[in-house]
Amino acid sequence: MNTENIQMETLEEIISPEEENGKYTFSKKSVLTKQVDPELESLFGKYKRGKLILQPDFQRQFVWDSSKSSRLIESTLLDIPLPVIYLSEESDGKETVIDGQQRLTAFFSFFDGKFPDGRDFRLSGLRVFDELNRKRFKELPDSIQDKIRYYEIRTITFLKDSDPELKFEVFERLNTGAVSLNNQELRNCIYRGKYNSILKELADNTDFRYILGLKGPDKRMKDIEFVLRFAAFYHFTYLNYKPPIRTFLNNDMERFKNISEKETEELKKAFKNSVGIIRSMFDKNAFKRFYIGKENDHDGYWEPRTFNASLYDVLMWTFADKDKNMIMRNLDAIREAFIDLMSNDQEFVDAIEIATSNIQAVNKRFDKWRLVLEDILKNESKQPRCFTLEFKNKLFEKNPTCSICNQRIHNIDDAAVDHIEQYWMGGKTIDENARLTHRYCNWSRDRKEKQLF
């Protein structure tokens, strides 16, 4: 999943320079803004009344030290113009700080007399007004207090009626902190509300955290973004996917920002159905790629650390509406078929590894797995394509040696129960027609024999 890190540009560079009554135009869309020069005391009052959200959960915490904060205070006494503060108007009329959190936190902490961590805020490191060092705000002369209180600072507020996708673009380009906000942190700012809360709730699901290998919430909201990925494909299906993935996810958050109770329950049920099935099927190897061996080393292996977002999308969407009892009856066959698909089908492998966000790749991987799964479920009472996991375990425990290369198979997931007489040539899935092989050796044999016909 690619994330773009765009350096700060002026508002005129971000959108067209044509302005009329605070309305800017960009690609036939608009972002509505309000520009004012409020006094610091006015902003502080809004903050105290809960109308100005200074540290929403998408923002990093206050990181300035006492000296840097003090020099900011000194800048107001010197009448030095400060950078613009960017705000976003929410649907409830409150305003959220998009850019300028550190500066406002410093000012408000000085008014309160304490930093967010509880330390006393006494001025330090001042060079021009050095006689004010060690003083709190309330210890300053009235004239100095008033100078700070009534200092005016330019704010630009993005109004709630602005186009959400364009707001996302603008906010991304204003995102200039030492640790830039990623896409989901930006969405958490722009699309605040009920749907955002539901995504966070689902990210706290025990099975979901387990198969993602998380012990707690991801600090950068990646877990919530993966819930959103599921929700977007669940709501729109892969047939309606259009790149880039960032916009696809943004559209889902905009479409369902006022999600109904019925839609909420359906989404929760589908999500829990998927993660429960996937945990039973793959355990901690969920969403990881399995690699077959090579000519000089026949041993295959699971991706040891990271997992594949394309595999995540396919599996989560596939099992959302499936009958759990039917899946459990066919669990071994489904698991084996999926490992085989990502081991032996080069078109599927390309679709999960190369240019994964384009429409062709998305359709290819979803279609291929959907058809394989449907075939298994449709033919569950007929001649099975795969041997059972129980049977493979028996063969592996009896003798974990590959019947083709005569080398030891070290991982049971790397073992394939091969049809001695190939299935596609009429061979039956019965004990007498089975042998244990490396997946690589089985793959090599299959390719060579098919090339003869």
pLDDT tens, residue by residue, 343-363: 989 999 999 999 999 999 999
Q: Which residues, 6 or more positions from 299, have their beta carbon under 8 angstroms from its beta carbon? A: 293, 409, 410, 411, 414, 438
pLDDT of residue 173: 80
The single-letter DSSP state of residue 83 is P
pLDDT of residue 3: 31
Beta bridge partners of 86: 99, 156
What's the predicted TM-score (pTM) here?
Answer: 0.69
pLDDT tens, residue by residue, 316-337: 999 999 999 999 989 988 999 9
Whether 376 and 337 have beta carbons less than 8 Å apart is answered as yes
Which parts of the chain sit beneath pLDDT 70? 1-29, 55-61, 176-180, 380-385, 422-426, 446-453
pLDDT of residue 22: 45
Burial of 222 (0-12, 13-18, 19+ CB in 10 A): middle
d(CA 163, CA 315) in angstroms, rounded, equals 33
- CATH top-level class of 387-453: alpha beta
Task: Look at residue 228 and give its three-state secondary structure.
Answer: helix
Q: Which residues, 6 or more positions from 249, have their beta carbon under 8 angstroms from its beta carbon? A: 183, 187, 225, 228, 229, 232
DSSP 263-328: HHHHHHHHHHHHHHHHHHHHGGGTTPPEE--BTTB---EE-SS---HHHHHHHHHHTTTS-HHHHH
pLDDT of residue 222: 94
Task: Look at residue 450 and give its three-state secondary structure.
Answer: helix
Question: Torsion over CA of 149, 150, 155 and 157, rounded to 10 degrees?
Answer: 80
List the domain boundaries for the chain: 11-190, 194-386, 387-453
Residue labelled with tokens 């044509």? 18
Task: Look at residue 49 and give its three-state secondary structure.
Answer: coil
